[in-house]
Structure 1
Amino acid sequence: MATPEDAAVPDVERDASGETLAEVRSLGAGAPVLAFDVGGTDIKSALFDADGTAWGLRRTPTPVARGDRTEVLIERLGVLAAELRAAYPNVVPQAAGLVVPGIVDADAGLGVFASNLGWHDSPLRDLAAARLGLPVAFDHDVRAASWAEHRLGGARAYQNSVVLVIGTGIAGALLVGGVPYTAGGYAGEIGHSPIADGPLCACGARGCLEAVASAGAIARRYREATGVTPDGAKDVIARAAAGDEVAAEIWSSALDALTMSLAQITAVVAPEAIVIGGGLSRAGGALFDKLRARLAARLSFHRIPELVPAELSGNAGILGAALRAREIA
């Protein structure tokens, strides 16, 4: 096994789920790889050794530029890779994994569209490979996270599953026969499936699930209804449990919307399990127990999927990036 140097990349932080470097699940034995999970506001980066341990895991700001951020992003990835290689010279990466949001054509290596990062049909995989001097595995961030959940987390017992991430927005991914179903990058947009005639979604469509039942939407709807700014969706759920009628109506309507969407997925895809992650998943029984009951009441002959909490939390994306990188190392 390559032994990392004692020096450490600075600024290792807890991620949004509270996990630290030591708590990141191991990939198991395999090739050493670099991994990058790019978001609109930050980049999570790490170097995984031959035992699958993550080193130098940290968040750094996603670089800002007017319009298309491709050029500044690729340059930042080069800097992050150089820092990791310098800090851990005995871990020599054989490939890199890069996952990004938006519409992604993984086979072509293209960032087809990402509104918050400004690109259209950007050849991110090839540009990253040239900058890093390594083969690069490229994928959608939530699809990569679902792959990590399939290989290492809550979905590992199921060949046919849906991974749903409910946070500020709602994102999803489908695994059919143990293989991600991508449809050129357009599959899995569960958050933008229509469940009602309104409200208007940020994507421009009306009645998207995300506009009603995401954690961001729950907090926003409570603020609009009361003039009070809650401390996120968890605060709205707590207020509902304490007898706040407005909070209870908003939370119930969010559960109804989620139930409708899960019922449609169940009828069409018939997954064995729906794995739910993201901030709202930490509501525990307030989410899972109520969804199970409502889903069972809504359906009839259908195979009711198991509703399973995601296990990898905020680290699923970077673990997925590393797993993808190992496939081409």
Structure 2
Amino acid sequence: MRHVIALDVGGTGMKAALVGVDTTPSGGSPSGPPVLLHQARRATGREHGPDAVVDGILDFAAELRAHGERHFGEPAAAAGVAVPGIVDEQQGIAAYAANLGWRDVPLRDLLAERLGGIPVALGHDVRTGGLAEGRIGAGRGADRFLFVPLGTGIAGAIGLDGRVEAGAHGFAGEIGHVVVRPGGIPCPCGQRGCLERYASAAAVSEAWAAACANPEADAADCAKAVASGDPNAVRVWRAAVDALADGLVTALTLLDPRTLIIGGGLAEAGETLFTPLRDAVRQRVTFQKLPSIVPAALGDTAGCLGAGLLARDLLTTTDPSEVTA
């Protein structure tokens, strides 16, 4: 069975799949949602250093190729891999990732060599997840969308007509570093008052742990306390929602998306987040058109599914470097 390799590399774990390739009767472009033929996970192993992480990725990909040959009668036709940090999709280089410790890794070429010369696409993890949400998830059918996962940090994926914009230098969508509180909390990026220092799951966890004097408390605990009416939790949550709304209104003013997709750990709070967030955004817009604000649909599978879509896209292009997340 014709298939591709999909690999999503995270700070602590890797998710992978072999994805079936469905083509049109005329042999044209792959169509339909990805069909997962095989799934696997393993630790990233970042505690062993960046070289060991790269070796682990290559070994994992080779194992997936061998599994496909054994069970489906042929090797994978292409591969897609999503990685965190700064990514040069055009050149296929994993430029920098603080949580993995690597710099300027020619990951696309390394994988292509290890996998017998098949085409390989390299994508940024959030943009690749956004690609999946846009094509087969919560943004399906929207010509313009913005995908914003709220996790340890905040990033974004700008969706335009079935693709996700990387930008001239690979930084498009970095909404987490929009300054929403000038002169505020210092950010590791060098600025003060960045959105992710107020509205990420990590920021809410930090604020709630301080407010309730429990260093083990996290954002999920805060959401539960909000639902029970705890005034301290409501205050912490409100501050995060207000900051998030300020950042999102800046983004929608610039990008005019039809759909705004919110994902990541904080979105798991459901309407505890979405009801006040929709209200806060609505109160802030003036001339802008209010987009639909919806939860992400694919959860932690988005990156892997997006990597599969990148790999499928390679089967219809003669130049793998033209395919970007």
- Preserved CA contact (<8 Å) 2:209 2:218: no
- Preserved CA contact (<8 Å) 1:49 1:91: no
TM-score (norm 1): 0.85
1:45 aligns with 2:31: no
Match in the other structure for 1:181: 165
Match for residue 99 of structure 2 among 116, 123, 143:
116
Match in the other structure for 1:26: none
Match in the other structure for 2:305: 319
Deviation at 1:39, TM superposition (A): 0.7
- Preserved CA contact (<8 Å) 2:62 2:115: no
- Preserved CA contact (<8 Å) 1:33 1:325: yes
- CA deviation map 1:161-185 (0-9, x unaligned): 1001112222211013443221131
Match in the other structure for 1:193: 178
- CA deviation map 1:183-222 (0-9, x unaligned): 1311111122211132122444321211111112111111
- CA RMSD after TM alignment: 1.9
TM-score (norm 2): 0.86
Deviation at 1:258, TM superposition (A): 0.6
Match for residue 133 of structure 2 among 146, 149, 153:
149
Deviation at 1:108, TM superposition (A): 1.0
The structure with higher relative contact order (CA 8 Å, sep 6+) is 2
Match in the other structure for 2:43: 61
Matches within 5 A, 1:221-260: 221-229=207-215, 231-260=217-246
CA distance in 1, matches of 2:222, 2:44: 30
AA at the equivalent of 2:19: F
Match in the other structure for 1:25: none
Match in the other structure for 1:284: 270
CA distance in 2, matches of 1:282, 1:67: 31
Matches within 5 A, 1:202-213: 202-213=188-199
Deviates more, 1:221-230 or 1:149-158: 221-230
Q: Aligned to 2:155, what secondary structure does the other structure show?
A: strand
Deviation at 1:231, TM superposition (A): 4.7
Deviation at 1:253, TM superposition (A): 0.3
CA distance in 2, matches of 1:119, 1:276: 29
Cα distance 1:257–1:167, how it changes in 2: closer, same or farther (>3 A)?
same
CA distance in 2, matches of 1:124, 1:136: 9
CA distance in 2, matches of 1:252, 1:61: 36
Match in the other structure for 2:250: 264
Deviates more, 1:238-247 or 1:156-165: 238-247
CA distance in 1, matches of 2:49, 2:14: 18
Q: Aligned to 2:73, what secondary structure does the other structure show?
A: coil
Flag structure 1 segments of 5+ consecutive residues without an equivalent: 3-30
Match in the other structure for 2:260: 274
Match in the other structure for 2:279: 293
Deviation at 1:247, TM superposition (A): 1.4
Q: Aligned to 2:275, what secondary structure does the other structure show?
A: helix
- Preserved CA contact (<8 Å) 1:125 1:136: yes
Deviates more, 1:307-316 or 1:76-85: 76-85
Cα distance 1:204–1:130, how it changes in 2: closer, same or farther (>3 A)?
same
Percent identical pairs in the alignment equals 40
1:220 aligns with 2:206: yes
Match for residue 306 of structure 1 among 292, 303, 322:
292
Match for residue 94 of structure 1 among 77, 82, 87:
77
1:161 aligns with 2:145: yes
AA at the equivalent of 1:60: R
Deviation at 1:232, TM superposition (A): 2.8
